[in-house]
């Protein structure tokens, strides 16, 4: 199995397809498998690298606290292992926070950047929600229960009204061989809860696509607009539905990412 060692952390990763390299960074409660529907299309055009962030899936659950900067170095460790001098980067939600750090501190490594439903900082409402979620998860320790509890934050009412798609997600989680644990989740929440990149976005020099979900209640449209204004070279695309665009509208999400990365070819 492909792993990369970064200090005490062992990171699981996978490669799909050929061509220009893209590294995809997933959300707070998701492992690399959540990119499945996106990979089918993008791997026809690119060499796509997905991985489990520390604390998720098959990657190491850290014994002590860590920072968003540490998570950014995990991505650089994978890029170094694969000998990627330069690559495209996609960060979804919390993954977008990590991507912002990489684009700022390792700007020479990033070609183009996609930030989907990401944020500069967590609002007080979201911080409270995550703290309460941690307390509940500690008592139940059930990944399926955790994700189901968070689905109203992640998806639109229209999506949740369907019978098939929400059930497909939850059924897949029941089959996970490496489910998210309380310790892994708690560490990730602690890493991002006080992070604020508002004053740092102006240092992102890579051409950036910002994908904003029209019904996102996790990352409010107002806050997303503020983030966009601070990034020097940016393009904005709106997408229907809630916070988890890659699951709610995978075809449209994939199309936006693909066209942005292929735009100058």
CATH of 3-262, picked from 3.40.630.30, 3.40.50.1820, 3.40.718.10, 1.10.240.10, is 3.40.50.1820
Token match 């950014």: residue? 72
Q: Is 89 exposed, middle or buried (0-12, 13-18, 19+ CB in 10 A)?
A: buried
Q: Give the pLDDT of residue 264.
A: 54
Q: Tokens 């990489």 label which residue?
A: 102
pLDDT at residue 263, rounded to an integer: 86
Cβ neighbour number for residue 8 with a 10 Å cutoff: 11
Rounded CA-CA distance 49/13 in Å is 7
Distance CA 134, CA 139 (A): 9
pLDDT at 225: 82
Q: How far is it, in rounded angstroms, from Cα 51 to Cα 100?
A: 17
Would you list the DSSP string of 200-234? TGGG--S-EEEEEETT-SSS-HHHHHHHHHHSSSE
The one-digit pLDDT tens for each residue of the chain (265 residues) are: 699 999 999 999 999 999 999 999 999 999 999 999 999 999 999 999 999 999 999 999 999 999 999 999 999 999 999 999 999 999 999 999 999 999 999 999 999 999 999 999 999 999 999 999 999 999 988 999 999 999 999 999 999 999 899 999 999 999 999 999 999 999 999 999 989 999 999 999 999 999 999 999 999 888 888 888 899 999 999 999 999 999 999 999 999 999 999 985 4
Round to whole Å and give the CA distance between 222 and 202: 18
The pLDDT, as a whole number, for residue 163 is: 83
């Amino acid at each position: 199995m492909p792993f990369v060692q970064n200090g005490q952390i062992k990171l699981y990763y996978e490669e799909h397809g050929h061509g220009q390299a893209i590294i995809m960074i997933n959300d707070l409660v998701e492992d690399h498998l959540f990119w499945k529907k996106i990979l089918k299309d993008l791997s026809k055009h690119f060499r796509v690298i997905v991985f489990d962030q520390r604390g998720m899936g098959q990657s190491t659950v850290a014994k002590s606290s860590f920072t968003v900067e540490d998570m950014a170095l995990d991505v650089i460790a994978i890029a170094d292992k694969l000998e990627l001098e330069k690559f495209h980067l996609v960060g979804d939600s919390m993954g977008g926070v990590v991507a912002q750090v990489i684009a700022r501190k390792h700007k020479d490594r990033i070609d183009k950047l996609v930030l989907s439903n990401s944020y500069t900082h967590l609002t007080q409402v979201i911080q409270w929600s995550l703290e309460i979620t941690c307390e509940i998860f500690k008592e139940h320790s059930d990944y399926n229960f955790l994700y189901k509890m968070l689905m109203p934050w992640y998806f639109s009412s229209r999506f949740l009204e369907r019978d098939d798609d929400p059930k497909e997600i939850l059924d897949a989680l029941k089959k996970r061989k490496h489910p998210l644990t309380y310790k892994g989740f708690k560490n990730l929440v602690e890493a991002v809860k006080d992070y604020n990149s508002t004053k740092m976005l102006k240092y992102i020099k890579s051409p950036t696509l910002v994908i904003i979900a029209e019904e996102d209640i996790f990352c409010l449209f107002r806050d997303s607009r503020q983030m966009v204004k601070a990034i020097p070279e940016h393009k904005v695309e709106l997408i229907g539905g809630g916070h988890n665009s890659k699951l709610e509208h995978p075809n449209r999400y994939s199309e936006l990412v693909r066209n942005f990365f292929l735009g100058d070819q």
